[in-house]
Amino acid sequence: MTTADLRPDSHGKVRDIYDCGDALLMVASDRISAYDFVLPDEIPHKGEVLTRISAFWFDRFADLIPNHMISMDPADFPERYRAYEDYLLGRSMLVKKAETLPIECIVRGYLTGSGKKTYDQDGTVCGIKLPDGLTEASKLPEPIFTPSTKAEIGEHDENISFERCCEIVGDEMTTKLKDASLAIYKAAAEYAATRGIIIADTKFEFGIIDGELTLIDECLTPDSSRFWPAKGYEEGKVQPSYDKQFVRDWLRANWDMTGEPPHLPEDVVRGTSERYQEAFQIITGDTFVPMKESHVSA
């Protein structure tokens, strides 16, 4: 049997989802997306890095907020998936089903990206007024909650105000999302600082499980966050990063954002894979060894 026999019940830009009755099997592929496009090249080991980093944070924050993770061990998956253990090992997670909330919960601790663009125009980020005099990579006085809508594949997320978020999911839920997002970000940023990493911004997704707000999808990965090395950080310039900014920068320099995205050069593919693995190692403190390799050697 080959992985071609695996037919997901649904899929996103990166993840394939399999319905297991009372649970879901989430499988992180090596696909990479940028500017809301899925690129034609895969990044080796990327899916495993995303899954294992998410599991690290889920475990770390288990007392702060519930999450949807059940197990990463293929032995715990439904029997029909065990024939694909070599592929699923490390990149898959059995999770509880949730009523997904239609909001991307973004927290920004530093000024960069789309936030920098709007700040330069009118001094605000997603409608939030910020102090004068900030520049690229400035640390914000306090992290801010800047939600967005969830876009379908090929469409663009839309930054929305707190008030618009209230209209979509209600005042009480929006306040819960804001409080949870800020609490997780602050705890993660404090820990990351001890590992020499600045978390410039990140994105969370939440759902409702048994009536309780629950952290779902991925958590603080190089796909959903900007990770900057603290060493050499300097306000006023674009920072080097451990995330997919490397890919975004190449695309911006080599593609006009029309038509289908181009293939990535081999050195960009390799460099991106290395950055993802380095992020894993710095954050978790563990050397990255693909679980398939460690499984065989064991």
| Residue 169: predicted pLDDT | 97
* Arithmetic mean of pLDDT, 160-169: 95
| Residue 292: predicted pLDDT | 80
Task: Using the Cα atoms of residue 127, residue 128, residue 134 and residue 137 in order, give the sign of their dihedral.
Answer: negative
Q: How confident is the model at residue 81 (pLDDT cuts 50, 70, 90)?
A: very high
DSSP at 238: P
Task: Using the Cα atoms of residue 275, residue 246, residue 103 and residue 8 in order, give the sign of their dihedral.
Answer: negative
Say yes or no to pLDDT of 153 above 90.
no
Q: How confident is the model at residue 1 (pLDDT cuts 50, 70, 90)?
A: very low
| Residue 155: predicted pLDDT | 60
* Arithmetic mean of pLDDT, 70-76: 96
SS (H, E, C) 170-215: CHHHHHHHHHHHHHHHHHHHHHHHHCCEEEEEEEEEEEEECCEEEE
* Arithmetic mean of pLDDT, 194-215: 98
Q: How confident is the model at residue 293 (pLDDT cuts 50, 70, 90)?
A: confident
| Cα three-residue angle 214-217-221, rounded to 5 degrees | 115
248: exposed, middle or buried (Cβ count in 10 Å: 0-12, 13-18, 19+)? middle
DSSP at 159: B
Mean pLDDT is lowest, of 62-66, 191-195, 232-236, 245-249, for 245-249
Same fold for the domain at 3-98+275-285 and the one at 100-244?
no
- The radius of gyration of the chain from alpha carbons, rounded to an integer in Å, stands at 19
Start-to-end CA span in the chain (Å): 24
* Arithmetic mean of pLDDT, 212-221: 97
The residue extents of the domains of the chain are 3-98+275-285, 100-244
Percent of the chain with pLDDT strictly greater than 90: 86
* Arithmetic mean of pLDDT, 52-69: 97
Tens-digit pLDDT profile for residues 179-193: 999 999 999 999 999
* Contacts with 140 (C-beta within 8 Å, 6 or more apart), sequence order: 108, 109, 110, 111, 130, 134
| Contact between 100 and 27 (Cβ < 8 Å) | no
CATH architecture for the domain at 100-244:
2-Layer Sandwich (3.30)
Give the span between the Cα atoms of 61 and 219, in whole angstroms. 10
Q: How confident is the model at residue 122 (pLDDT cuts 50, 70, 90)?
A: very high
Give the span between the Cα atoms of 78 and 262, in whole angstroms. 38
Reported as type and span, the H/E element at residue 95 is strand 92-96
| Residue 150: predicted pLDDT | 83
Say yes or no to pLDDT of 237 above 90.
yes
Q: How many CB atoms lie within 10 A of CB 187?
A: 15
Give the span between the Cα atoms of 93 and 23, in whole angstroms. 10
* Arithmetic mean of pLDDT, 284-294: 89
Angle between helices 162-169 and 171-194 (to 10 degrees): 120
| Residue 198: predicted pLDDT | 98
Q: What is the CATH number of domain 3-98+275-285?
A: 3.30.200.20
Mean pLDDT is lowest, of 77-81, 105-109, 243-247, for 243-247
Q: How confident is the model at residue 152 (pLDDT cuts 50, 70, 90)?
A: low
| Residue 295: predicted pLDDT | 58
Collapse the DSSP code of 106 into the 3-class scheme (helix H, G, I; strand E, B; otherwise coil) and give the result. strand
